[in-house]
Structure 1
Amino acid sequence: MATNDDNTTVTVSRRSLLGAATAAPVLAAPLAAAEEGLSPDSALRRAWTQAAYDAAALRRDANRLRTALTRRIGPRAVTLGMVQLPDGQTFPIRISTTNEFYRLLRLIPVPDQPAMQAAFPAVQDAVSATKKRWDTEAARCGLPTLDHHANAAHDRAKALLARLLPVVESV
């Protein structure tokens, strides 16, 4: 599945990564704004806007990295087969967990249960190997860390928005 595109580079901006990692605590925004001469409401809006921007930038960087990783090593799923629709289009049937295999079995009208049960160990091994390879490559390129920072920035933006909503409703 690997291609010659193993040198795919994804740029994560220093501002987006470090901005979320070293983001000021939620309570610090009004204090800093007081020094700039802003009202507490304006300071809170400005802090929320910046936090939302940082969260979106980090999420974009993580999605870009996830896409590059998928292009390089393939999807984080095992392709079981192809389905052809009446109009001639085809699409792959992919599973990323063994539970999805069981759900697929329930969708088949009259499955050959012994054959499907016999295929289960091979499917389970393929899913496990694909997941392990994908997780190893993701860890190597820093995707879990970037996802963690994106989630932290998103949580910070949500906390600021929760503080901002009473201010907006009172206006």
Structure 2
Amino acid sequence: MANNNSANAKITDFGNAKSINTQANIHNGIFGRIPFLAPELFDPRKPDNIQHCMKTDIYSLGVIFWELSSGRPPFENQPHDFGLASRIFHGRRENTNYGTHEYRNLYIECWDADQDKRSDIDNVREMLKKFLNSNILPEVDASAINSEGTYSLFIDFKHVL
């Protein structure tokens, strides 16, 4: 995460910061952390048509929302390999018992297997505003900024379950 000095945190680098082929300035494969990648990126029927887009980013955002509410990384006890990619492609997601009903619905909608059914960013923004205005989200203790300037974020969702 990066801070732009206006109290806004920005999510950056899902593992592809060094994946660009500098000679041609193109990506030449799937890059990123497997648990955060949308299932269509693993589709073996479309190896040459793999494209990151807003809908693949929304999928990743849904996984991040799940991670924030569960307090742990997705698929933390499983190898991040072809097997996990295949399971994600075939519909495997983490347990959805975290967060309020409304919050669960948001991240489940974001990580839908059908990219056309995923929420758009305007809907995500409106839902988050609604959550903030109705106290659905808990207070966040963002006091954990380490000496390198990176953040360790912990949100205690116990009182909203």
TM tier, smaller? under 0.3
**Structure with the bigger percentage of helix:** 1
**Structure with the bigger percentage of strand:** 1
Report the TM-score when normalising by structure 2: 0.22
Flag the structure with more relative contact order, 1 or 2, with Cα contacts below 8 A and sequence separation at least 6.
1
